[in-house]
Structure 1
Amino acid sequence: MNTASRPGSPAGLRDANRRRVLDAVRAAGAPTQAEIAAVTGLAPATVSNIVRDLGAAGVLAAGDEVRGGRRVRAVRLVRGAGVVAGIDFGHRHVRVALADVADPAISAAPERIELRADLPDGHGVTDGLATAAELLERAVTEAGARRAALRGAVVGLPAPLDLATGAVGASGVLPGWVGVPVAGRVAEHLGVPSWVDNDATLGTLAEQRWGALRGVDHGIFLKLSDGVGAGLVLDGRLYRGPDGTAGEVGHVAVDPGDRFAAVCRCGHRGCLETLVSTRTVTAMLEPLLGAPLTVADVVARARDGDAPCARVLADTGHHVGVALAGLCTVLTPRRIVVGGELAQAGDLLLGPLHAALGAAALPGTTRTAEVVVAELAEHAPVLGALALALDRCAV
């Protein structure tokens, strides 16, 4: 099931108000309802109704306390109210994280148990979900929780998605998952409400809440891994587009006029992903260096003075900057956050990226745009899945 409320709808406003109340309680620890109303700007009657509803759901509890010689009614998060799961699928891995519904974290990522497993290239939905379920059972055991305490799960996938149905689109991207309504399959498999979203979108949500996009009203999160995707923050809000596919920058044609450019998994030629994916980076260097390589190997060699490795990383940054230039000209972001496996290259990648942006974008549109490495590193997508699960299961 993929039952996200539409922003601006009555249900969306209700959910947003509940999250504001929860954030106020997490930040203060045990505020009164009057204090919650003052912090959130919500009417006292609205706060009272939300506290009552979340109390009935077992998420909040209100009780009398004595403070400064007078009795007040304080509101607290209920520990043991349950746990939620974030599940991040890559082209060749799955990562599972588990957190308490009532985790008090607001300025930092929640305390969690996080596990990872490799998956074969081209894995199908059945094998992928089976591996994820095994990791989840281990995480529940490590947390000392009961399996029945799991209240919901959010799954991130490196593919375009139909947010209405949760089905994976775009033939050639996760071919073993195309057309599968993943949220429904996960809900059946785990027996709990489940939602699905794009992994770059979830990475954006995590960086916006706990990382390098905090307080940024106009920004871009760019995930550079086996696949390439982006998440957009406009006017302080995560922008998904009308059908949920906004941010597929990996399939921007960098040189659409080249009839001999590499064919992308989406079927087009010359997409950014064919030039800057982790596979492309390592494949260009392995024949030259005569050994299988990881991105970490390439970065280490480049920092040690290896000229071919440094050149490939610089070219990668350049290609990304050229592809982002049009987007920056239109959106004028204030910060571009680079995440994914290639982010570990740091200045070796970001310097050429910023230079290419300055050369290709409309003069002035990138003057105030910072280009920084993601604070949450490779954990951003699974943390975004946790953030969404915490929101959904608390409201």
Structure 2
Amino acid sequence: MNTGPRPGSPSGLRDANRRRVLDAVRVGGAPTQAEIAGATGLAPATVSNIVRDLGAAGLLSAGDEVRAGRRVRAVRLVRGAGMVAGIDVGHRHLRVALADVADPAAAAGHPGPPGRSELRADLPDYHGVAEGLATAASLIDEALAQVGVRREALRGAVVGLPAPVDRATGAVGASGVLPGWVGVPVAGRVSEHLGIPSWVDNDATLGTLAEQRWGALRGIRDGVFLKLSDGVGAGLVLDGRLYRGPDGTAGEIGHVAVDPGDRHAAVCRCGHRGCLETVVSTRTVTALLEPLLGAPLTVADMVARAHDGDAPARRVLADTGHHVGAALAGFCTVLTPRRIVVGGELAQAGDFLLAPLHAALEAAALPGTTRTADVVVAELAEHAPVLGAVALALDRATTAP
């Protein structure tokens, strides 16, 4: 399985309606079916059918109660209905988070993400699927043990990967940061390994979903989420909807050429020269300062040096922001986003990165198209991709037949 039905299809509409009913129950606590219909705008008969179906799935229960002297039939979430797992696979790390499907904070539009157990582990460069899945399973078991829940309680998992993901097959595209995962139908492998329904998506897309649901993109109809880490990607919100493109690979801004005419520009892993990722990935950016220090450097080290007034660190971060802003200018001219959210490791640089980024946008985009575009740091920080995986897992595991 992959990312599920397409929006607008009959199954997509069914799933969207189920999510609306679940969110209404999460927010309302124990609403009546009439109150659910009022909150969602769905017909009473549609609500009744969905409540029946989700009751059969073990997610909702309906029972008679007396309120204000009259008997009503209240709908509640079933406590202990199960957990979902989000798995964020990075170039050198793997992060896992669990969430209870009955957590009221799981509702879309809630001011914060659901309570969760989250664990992280380091991975070696160029790790493969077998090592990644073994680490994910180990972290999931550890997280389940922390909350006192058995593996059988898991209803589904979503894996986020720093690579384009084929929407139809769930296979990792050839330009992915993780060569050991290329061409692998990851969702199927996860399902086999964990014994639960699983889905896979791009990590920047999942970060966008998390920021849209619980972070800096809440209420934003048109926005961009940038993930600036070892890999560079973007997620798009257009007219209030997460946009993946027809094949699920929209947002690969890391492969926008920033200097296509330079025959000496670095060769990107996609095979082209001068891609944005070749000049702003964390590995490239830190490597610019390491010769001056004679030692390996992390992004956190570089940001600390910038705060201490170190001129080379500030220059590298400013140049990085300029490159990103110049690459984003085309996005702004065409899509006129109202907010640009910067996430990933480089987001911790704050204004050292964002100020030159915004200046480059103003200089390169069509005049007026960036006037109303905020440039802000992701509210969910490095947790955005794994929380997006949790959000998608909540959606899929609670709406699947």
Whether TM exceeds 0.5 here: the answer is yes
SS in 2 for 1:80: coil
- Output aligned runs, 1:8-87, within 5 Å: 8-87=8-87
> By how many angstroms is 1:292 displaced?
1.6
Q: In the alignment, residue 50 of structure 2 is paired with which amino acid?
A: I
2:189 to 185, 189, 193: 185
Counterpart of 1:109? 113
SS in 1 for 2:104: coil
Counterpart of 2:286? 282
In 2: Cα distance, 1:199 partner to 1:139 partner: 21
2:211 to 203, 207, 216: 207
In 1: Cα distance, 2:190 partner to 2:151 partner: 15
Matched pairs, number? 395
1:328 to 310, 329, 332: 332
Render the CA deviation track for 1:322-360: whole Å, top value 9, x for unaligned: 000011100000000000000001111000000000000
2:311 aligned with 1:311, yes or no? no
Render the CA deviation track for 1:97-133: whole Å, top value 9, x for unaligned: 1111111103110100000000100111111111111
Counterpart of 2:263? 259
2:239 aligned with 1:239, yes or no? no
Counterpart of 2:386? 382
Contact 2:164–2:175, Cα closer than 8 Å, also in 1:
no
In 2: Cα distance, 1:101 partner to 1:323 partner: 39
SS in 2 for 1:321: helix
1:269 to 264, 270, 273: 273
SS in 1 for 2:251: coil
Q: In the alignment, residue 95 of structure 1 is paired with which amino acid?
A: R
Render the CA deviation track for 1:38-77: whole Å, top value 9, x for unaligned: 0110000000110110011010111111111111111111
SS in 2 for 1:152: strand
My pick for the range that moved more, 162-171 or 232-241, is 162-171
Structure 1 stretches of 4+ with a deviation exceeding 2 A read none
2:332 aligned with 1:354, yes or no? no
In 2: Cα distance, 1:172 partner to 1:42 partner: 41
Q: In the alignment, residue 339 of structure 1 is paired with which amino acid?
A: G
Could you tell me the percent identity over the aligned residues? 85
Alignment RMSD (CA, Å): 0.8
In 1: Cα distance, 2:204 partner to 2:379 partner: 14
Q: In the alignment, residue 197 of structure 2 is paired with which amino acid?
A: P
Counterpart of 2:98? 98
SS in 2 for 1:372: strand
> By how many angstroms is 1:3 displaced?
5.8
SS in 2 for 1:189: helix
- Output aligned runs, 1:357-368, within 5 Å: 357-368=361-372
Q: In the alignment, residue 207 of structure 1 is paired with which amino acid?
A: E
In 2: Cα distance, 1:392 partner to 1:199 partner: 17
2:146 aligned with 1:146, yes or no? no
Q: In the alignment, residue 162 of structure 1 is paired with which amino acid?
A: D
Q: In the alignment, residue 73 of structure 1 is paired with which amino acid?
A: R
Unmatched runs of 5 consecutive residues or more in structure 1:
none
My pick for the range that moved more, 289-298 or 268-277, is 289-298
In 1: Cα distance, 2:314 partner to 2:379 partner: 23
In 1: Cα distance, 2:150 partner to 2:139 partner: 15
> By how many angstroms is 1:172 displaced?
5.8
My pick for the range that moved more, 301-310 or 3-12, is 3-12
In 1: Cα distance, 2:315 partner to 2:295 partner: 18
SS in 1 for 2:390: helix
Contact 2:163–2:176, Cα closer than 8 Å, also in 1:
no
SS in 1 for 2:152: helix
Contact 1:173–1:266, Cα closer than 8 Å, also in 2:
no
Q: In the alignment, residue 218 of structure 2 is paired with which amino acid?
A: R
Unmatched runs of 5 consecutive residues or more in structure 2:
none
Counterpart of 2:220? 216
> By how many angstroms is 1:291 displaced?
2.2
Contact 1:340–1:378, Cα closer than 8 Å, also in 2:
yes
SS in 2 for 1:293: coil
Q: In the alignment, residue 41 of structure 2 is paired with which amino acid?
A: G
- What is the TM-score normalised by the length of structure 1? 0.99
SS in 2 for 1:7: coil
Render the CA deviation track for 1:201-220: whole Å, top value 9, x for unaligned: 00000000000000000000
In 2: Cα distance, 1:93 partner to 1:148 partner: 26
Contact 1:82–1:150, Cα closer than 8 Å, also in 2:
yes
> By how many angstroms is 1:173 displaced?
2.9
- What is the TM-score normalised by the length of structure 2? 0.97
SS in 2 for 1:161: coil
